[in-house]
Amino acid sequence: MKLFNLPDLGEGLQEAEIVSWQVKPGDTVEQGQQLLSVETAKAIVEIPSPESGVIAKCYGEEGDIVQVGDPLVEYRVEGETVAAPDKPEREDSGTVVGEVKTGSEVIRERASEISSRSGGGIKATPAVRALAKQLDVDLSIVTPTGPKETITAGDVQRVAKILAEVGPMELLRGVRRTMARSMAQAHAEVVPVTLFDVVDIQHWKEKEDITVRLIQAILAACAAEPSLNAWYDAHAIGRRLLKKVHLGIAADTSDGLFVPVISDVGQYSTGQLREELNRIKQAVRDRSIAPDKLRGNTFTLSNFGTIAGRHANPVVVPPTVAILGAGHRYDAVVPVNGEPAVHKLLPLSLTFDHRAVTGGEAGRFLGVLIRSLSG
């Protein structure tokens, strides 16, 4: 038998979720024939057969998460005979043979302390721990009511009842799983500070392309204050300032958050920018976007105002050091030549990593951005 393991999918991806199998045991396959589809944090990838042969076994089912190096397919080698499986050893039925000794000692079960995922101690007797395992209850989420903060059987049963009412846990997979990890990394590493402001866009044309205007303003701000178009290395405690702006565009989908990247966004004209935005939006929707279009951003734009909300605290994901959030446009009374007037305003939220960017640098960046949008 020959094993074919999940190959390295690149981009530092260490796992993938099986989407569908195109083969089954007993099938004869040719080299290059599609074996299965897997979903990574980046895209859906087709895995081809590295050789011709007969499939002896498929490892994993649809929905399973496999790690790089885990077996996917077992091939039957030509001329090899399939040996009968070894007869499994019979398990101990639990019958006691021999002399049984008795004693008068009474054993009282004591609560022992076990570590929780939060790092604290959890007190529960072996019987309560066994009950929790039987009812699939994580003791770290149980509030103890017993003496000296000991978890009782009633505590476990109470939580089990609550969990039964809310339904089974949905494990995050694919894009959502990656998003959860990225957000956890950002929360653990980044020192975020957010500046809020608004820009008067009353002078804009009726059907002005907001996203394109924001991108052009980001380009102007990065040229004036390049410290926000950078990557920060937490291990070396250093930063890399980049000349070209590779802009990540946060895109909300039912599968999770995607951040497709427009490389060297400054090379596009106004019309070309809109075409490129439409193209990557469609590719994300179809899940056909190439993995290399989901990496390497140096600055990020989140135009969440197309959904709702004025201001936010956008999350900076390492190694980038800044992200701009654009909120929902709204009308407000503003002074114009000493007189009140109703103008349309666009709220802005600029979050930066204070490890790599000073408040002055972020303020100057936002100032240039506002002037560009006001022009």
Q: What is the pLDDT of residues 101-140, one digit of tens each?
A: 445 455 444 555 554 444 447 888 888 899 999 988 999 8
Cα distance between residue 321 and residue 58, in whole Å: 44
Cα distance between residue 112 and residue 115, in whole Å: 10
Lowest mean pLDDT, pick from 22-26, 148-152, 193-197, 321-325: 148-152
Tell me the β-bridge partners of 4. 73
277 shares its domain with 367? yes
Q: Tell me if 81 is assigned to some domain.
A: no
pLDDT at 110: 52
Cα distance between residue 149 and residue 146, in whole Å: 5
Higher pLDDT, 225 or 95: 225
Q: How far is CA 60 from the centre of its chain?
A: 23
Strands 256-258, 299-302: pairing kind: unpaired
130 shares its domain with 274? no
> What's the average model confidence in pLDDT over 260-279?
94
Q: Tell me if 92 is assigned to some domain.
A: no
Burial class, 337, CB count within 10 angstroms (exposed 0-12 / middle 13-18 / buried 19+): exposed
Cα distance between residue 310 and residue 303, in whole Å: 10
For residue 292, which phi and psi values (nearest 5 degrees)?
Answer: -70, -10
Cα distance between residue 39 and residue 19, in whole Å: 6
Strands 121-124, 150-151: pairing kind: parallel
Confidence tier at 43 by pLDDT (50, 70, 90): confident
SS3 content of the chain, % helix, strand, coil (to 5): 30, 30, 45
Is the pLDDT at 92 greater than 50, yes or no? no
> What's the average model confidence in pLDDT over 172-186?
86
pLDDT at 335: 93
pLDDT at 255: 81
Average pLDDT, the chain: 86
Q: Which of 76, 89, 9 is nearest to 41 (CA)?
A: 9
147 shares its domain with 268? no
Cα distance between residue 282 and residue 237, in whole Å: 38
313 shares its domain with 230? yes
Peptide bond into 260 cis (omega under 30): no
364 shares its domain with 219? yes
Cα distance between residue 45 and residue 19, in whole Å: 9
Is the pLDDT at 32 greater than 60, yes or no? yes
Is the pLDDT at 275 greater than 60, yes or no? yes
> In which region does residue 300 sit, left (phi positive, over 0), alpha (psi from -120 to 50) or beta (all else)?
beta
pLDDT at 81: 55
- In the chain, the number of structural domains is 3
Is the pLDDT at 370 greater than 90, yes or no? yes
pLDDT at 98: 43
- Given 137, 166, 195, the domain boundary residue is 166
Lowest mean pLDDT, pick from 39-43, 186-190, 213-217: 39-43
Is the pLDDT at 88 greater than 70, yes or no? no
181 shares its domain with 271? yes
pLDDT at 100: 43
Which domain does 133 fall in, by range? 112-166
239 shares its domain with 353? yes
145 shares its domain with 122? yes
13 shares its domain with 59? yes
Lowest mean pLDDT, pick from 58-62, 108-112, 183-187: 108-112
Three-class secondary structure of residue 126 per DSSP: helix
Q: Which of 26, 21, 22, 32 is nearest to 54 (CA)?
A: 26
Q: Is 75 within 8 Å of 55 (Cβ atoms)?
A: yes
- Pure H helices in 236-358: 270-286
Does the pTM of the predicted model rise above 0.75?
no
Q: What is the pLDDT of residues 311-366, one digit of tens each?
A: 999 999 999 999 999 999 999 999 999 999 999 999 999 999 999 999 999 999 99
pLDDT at 355: 96
- Given 48, 76, 104, the domain boundary residue is 76
Strands 251-253, 2-5: pairing kind: unpaired
148 shares its domain with 251? no
Cα distance between residue 266 and residue 264, in whole Å: 5
